[in-house]
Structure 1
Amino acid sequence: MTRSIESRLIIVFGLLILILMFISSFFVIDRTRNYFYEDIQKKIEFMVSSSLLRILEDKNLTQEKIQDIVDKSMKQSQYGFMIQKLIVTDSRGRLLASFPRMDISFFPSDEILTSLAGYKVVKQDLENQTMVFAFPVKSGRIVERALYLEVSVQNILATVTDIKNILLMAYIVAMIFSLFIGFLFAKTLSNPLRKLTRQALEMAEGNLDVKIEISSQDEIGKLASAFKVMATNVKKYISELEFEKQKLERILQNMSDGVLAVNSKNEIIHINESAKKFLKDNVERFLEHVQGDKDWIDTQRIYEVDGWTLEISTAAFIDSYQGTGTIFILHDITQQAKLDRMRKQFVADVSHELRTPITTIKTYSETLLDVDDETVKREFLGVIIKECDRMTRLISDLLYLSRLDSGENILKVEEVNISELVRFVCEKMRIHAKKKNQKLICSTEENVVIEADRDRLEQVLINLINNAVVYVQEGGQIEVGLEKDEEHVRITVKDNGPGIPEDDLPRIFERFYRVDKARSRSLGGSGLGLSIADEIVKVHGGKILVESKEGVGTTFTVVLPVNRGV
């Protein structure tokens, strides 16, 4: 149950008054009671010390004399009416005199025994509404007698009760007036707030033209003024958002790429005409396909549906449920994919057709080398064998790529000390670098171990470092590095060579693609090395990144997973 601000203010106001009343009454009553008790104590001690104690110090007094002294003192003392009982005992606690006189057997109380030990006793007995006093009567340092008194405090308690009643009545009157004033104060605060609330609710329902009246210059007036400014700004922003929304919808609907957006509950919140054309009735199947695959986010994947080959780019956003939604951009690469498949098929066919005749040529050439003939003929046959080896490597590369394309598992997975492998390859390639006076620097972390195919990773590293050695000018520098974090291993091959043009960067991993075709052929390149390296790294669950700037150099980064099985 919700309470209004009025009721809360009145309750708080009332509680504060009650607390103040309780604290003040407690201190007033307690202080008054203590004052009366202290006053009685001073009066009794003055009466006793000024007369009785001095008289009773005479150890020669007889019991009858002591009784006469007690009776006389009680008649003459102005405080006698307060004393209910007075007892005088000897040093052994035996009764010598009393008021009123006691005819029954007497037993000394604890207070009398304490005073006979030489100590004064002052005690409040609230049960009997009395104050108890006990004084030692000394002769020198020796306690000769004890004086015991019981003083009535009924008048004190009655006075305290009257004070309580007076305070109670005063507090009740004060409480009523305080609550009435609190009610009026709450009204002055709540009335303008109620009015402002009604106007704010109208704004919430869409009526941004509501007139907000400002009748004061205090905090509530400032709040009303802020609401007025807010209503004006919100109206302006909504108009701008409507315009931007219409513009964005027109752009999305007329895009050649498909756009599909889903929220965190996998509900479609937007789909344009191109996406409908590509997916048709397969939207739900597409979402089921990507729903549990977190690797789709911020990556590019290929998706095939009803004859379309789509390149899917994704991005995450925060939706209205404060969850993570996903935007899918569907780019049509059907024709490109078709051409790519045709080229791959051609490579596989040509490889199988050429392997047998090339092997035959190599066999006859090796046989001719054993024939004792002219030196020129031997040199000629050696060139034939060299070219045959080159063509054999080309065919082997083509067949290897074909096997990768077919999805065949060609890896021999084992634990590989990647640090040792990088150093081994660097040492192997250092000889080639020295021929061009190049500086090959290798820096790695120690004992980085992953699960991979050692021979294939060696092939990748040799390809990347060899490319750097071949294309970097004489006297250049090549840096090979190895780093590891919790999830990935990164191998970098950085050079200060001529670099790769920006337009060529997206295509350097395509098969048979050469940046400088004439120079690549003269250096013996087939255009397959980077393609093979890229495919090998992908099969390992990694990727190759490249950064390059003409005239500055190129950096290849091989990213491999640490704990992901191949």
Structure 2
Amino acid sequence: MTKSIESRLIIVFGLLILILMFISSFFVIDRTKSYFYDDIKNKIEFMVSSSLIRILEDKSLTQQKIQEIIDQSMKQSQYGFMIQKLIVTDNRGRLLASFPRMDISFYPSDEILTSLAGYKVIKRDSENQTMIFAFPIKSGKSVERSLYLEVSCQSILETVTDIKNILFMAYVIGMGFSLFIGFLFAKTLSNPLRKLTRQALEMAQGNLDVKIEISSQDEIGKLASAFKIMATNLKRYITELEFEKQKLERILQNMSDGVLAINSRNEIIHINESAKRFLKDDIHGFLDKIQAQKSSVVSQPIIYEVDGYTLEVSIAFFVDSFQSTGMVFILHDITEQAKLDRMRKQFVADVSHELRTPITTIKTYSETLLDVDDESVKREFLTVIIKECDRMTRLISDLLYLSRLDSGENILRIEEVNISELVRFVCEKMRIHANKKHQSLLCNVQEDIIIDADRDRLEQVLINLINNAITYVQDGGRIEVCLKKENGNIELTVEDNGPGIPKEDLPRIFERFYRVDKARSRSLGGSGLGLSIADEIVKAHGGRVLVESEEGVGTKFTVVLPLKEKGQVTL
């Protein structure tokens, strides 16, 4: 828990006063007790040495006389009230006289025996409530008797207790007064600091126009003056930095390239809108993959693909606020270039592959013909060669047609077309092929629909879709062709109950040379361009081709054409 400077000053001040009081109290009480004990000692020694010992030195005194002397002395002595016990013994430790009188058997104490040995004994008991005196009484050089006294020190203890109480009350009053003075002193010191702290916090929150007013000329006043100068300088520097920051942010935010900066702790310190669009919610995944690929010295850009984007990532290094190495990633969008490059490579590979097969067949059969004399075999081989040449001719013709479509050349011959009659005609023509596989081909056309279009090209589209269905649907399957008006459009559907198209292949079926079952498609004579051509023809008519399929259930192709009056087809 954080303590204020006031509380710390008061606590320190109070502790100093307490320590001072404790030390002074210890010495005062100790010296007072010592004084009173010394006073009692001196008084008892004076009383004994000046009267009793001199009287008791007379050897002729009888035991009765000694008792009378003791009784008389205790009555006349001003210190008699302090003496609890007085005993006189002979040199053998036998009791001669006592006060108060003792009727029980007597046994000399250690102090008495010590005094009979010629030594004076003065000591206090363990609780300091009684002082014990033992004096040897000599006659010449020999000890004739012993004088033993027990003096009460209760009055001393009571006096010391009273002194302690007085000191405690004085200390409480002094402590309260001292703490009050310390509180006032702490206030005079902390108030300017508290005010300066409040103003500094306002500065830290961005209010550099705060007025710092400290009138004192001491160290606090100098500190306030330094804060005032610092605030002025900071305001100027921050204004300049804000201008540069805004300019840099405008540049970065309007860049088409993505910019992402991280510090040495992998914390994102900047990211522009382009980078957010490219990476979306996978920023940390991007950082993990890029950092796993980069070497200690990045000399070549890294290609990174994410969610439909192909990015060329360049990396630069900088020193961050932790005095370590941060990184800046420049994300250049090369999606279209990469897509075109892939399409070009795939197209070249597909064309090469499609041409290689018939060329190889022609070459093989031609070389074989050189060594064959049988006319029937030659005719069979020549038939195969002609078939492969026709296949290459169709492939090249389709490629030329697609090239013309890609170039934007107007290849449509627009005329008035009864599309209902066209659908019936194509169905009848294709029914012969369907019957060979025992397939049912249904034609559902309920009304005549007339549009402006290229009849031959639409026929090509319809033949391609129906032929694909006949080719891939199993024997005994079902194919249905339906034509209807729907929401201002014409919808022509070709639906079958064939094997269907895998879900992962659906987005690519209109790509050139793309086959779902490559081996089977090629064996059936398909080039992989039919759906591409159909899609381009429909697009040239302002429409689109949709596909729905489920494996094991069937496939449904829908050609959607805008229903327009004659002369309104946009090419």
TM (norm. structure 2) is 0.50
Q: Radius of gyration: which is bigger?
A: 2
